[in-house]
A = this chain, B = another copy of it.
Amino acid sequence: MKIVVDAMGGDHAPAVVVEGAVLAAREFGVEIVLVGREEAIRRELARHNTAGLSLPIVPASEVIEMDDHVNAVRAKKDNSLSVGMRLIKEGQADAFMSAGNSGAVMAAALFGLGRIRGIDRPALASIFPASKTPAIFIDLGANTDPTPQNLVQFAMMGSVYAERILGLNQPRVAIVSNGEEPEKGNERVKAAYPLLQASGLNFIGNIEGKDIPQGLTDVIVTDGFTGNVIIKLTEGLVSFLARTLKESLTGSLRNKVGLGLMLPGLILMLPGMLFLLPTIQSLRKRVDYRELGAAPLLGVNGVVLIAHGRSDAQAIRGAIRSTIRAAEGRIVETIKSNIGAARPQASHGSPSAQA
């Protein structure tokens, strides 16, 4: 297994990227190709013990900055993203991971690898962090205005990812809507509904916002605008609730317990607090991007994953682990072989499609 990592991508590149790559190479025993400015990468590598690890460098002289326009991918010809994609395209490596500018990664993947035939728009998927049972969430934000047909392709790709990564058979697929009933939805969702019924996927219908954390489905399909809002709101709410909980714990001590009762109360509280704080932390961790690994860009003709720009070395290590899993899962080949099945043939209401 050979993974290409964009050494120049992310807010703290190349230092944390190289550090995370060293951790991953040691822990997962894979070869990691670091693409980017050779001198800078070499300097970072020198700070770590890399004895016995396979961490070759492929030079790329230019860097796409986090705030660059996607056009920079074409303008800066020797950028680390495009050089990395070429290694995948030429079959020199199995998968690519970057914590860089996600718009630029998508553009570089489209230019460098192209789309899988039959997929009109690639989409970003991830594991939804706050659900009873893990579910694949697609699209995280690659397409703000997809067509109903695009949504059906997202559903198929998400279904493949759930099969290969979560090990599920015939994963249940639901589409985010403003009500459970089939007639609920905006125009896009209402048009996608019969197409999903006819898709051959295990489509179980609409899912409301309140049911997203309930584990009622294995694949959650939505447009990239709503998807981005859902994922970021989840992150924001968990932080907000954890903070509110901490504040009200200390607040209720101050308010409810009189000064005389304060000390014994505090002492008695301590063990409870010691149990509680790691619990709050683990909840935050659950939706923390560092724990989530990287999001696969499904629909491009190669295994490409995008990690959070704020990633630290541990997050890079986790993102590389996700990338190894995606490559091992043969996502691209499975999507290719599923395209025929998921292309909606007839329209509404054929009995077999509704079964």
In the complex, whether A333 has a CB less than 8 A from a CB of chain B is: no
> Which of A14-22, A111-119, A271-279, A291-299 lies at the binding interface?
A271-279
- For chain A residues 222-277, which have a beta carbon within 8 Å of chain B? 223-226, 228-241, 244-245, 248-249, 252-253, 265, 268-273, 275-276
Query: What are the residues of chain B within 8 A of A272 when measuring CB–CB?
Result: 268-273, 275-276
- CB distance B229 to A209 under 8 Å? yes
In the complex, whether A178 has a CB less than 8 A from a CB of chain B is: yes
Give this chain's copy count. Answer: 2
Complexed CA–CA distance, A132 and B253 (Å) = 20
Query: What are the residues of chain B within 8 A of A187 when measuring CB–CB?
Result: 144-145
Complexed CA–CA distance, A268 and B224 (Å) = 48
Query: What are the residues of chain B within 8 A of A213 when measuring CB–CB?
Result: 233, 236-237, 239-240
Q: Which residue of B lies closest to A247 (CB)?
A: B279
- CB distance A214 to B226 under 8 Å? no
Given A187-B145, A229-B226, the answer on whether A240 and B276 have CB atoms closer than 8 Å is no
In the complex, whether A44 has a CB less than 8 A from a CB of chain B is: no
Most chain B CB inside 10 Å of its own CB: which residue of A131, A226, A265: A226
Given A236-B213, A237-B238, A273-B272, the answer on whether A225 and B185 have CB atoms closer than 8 Å is yes
In the complex, whether A155 has a CB less than 8 A from a CB of chain B is: no
CB distance from A328 to the nearest CB of B (A): 30
Complexed CA–CA distance, A223 and B144 (Å) = 14
- For chain A residues 163-209, which have a beta carbon within 8 Å of chain B? 176-179, 185-187, 189, 208-209
Query: What are the residues of chain B within 8 A of A132 when measuring CB–CB?
Result: 240
Query: What are the residues of chain B within 8 A of A234 when measuring CB–CB?
Result: 209, 233, 237
Contact of A265 among B209, B268, B271 (CB under 8 A): B271
Q: Which residues of A contact B (CB under 8 A)?
A: 130-132, 141, 144-145, 176-179, 185-187, 189, 208-214, 223-226, 228-241, 244-245, 248-249, 252-253, 265, 268-273, 275-276, 278-280, 282-283
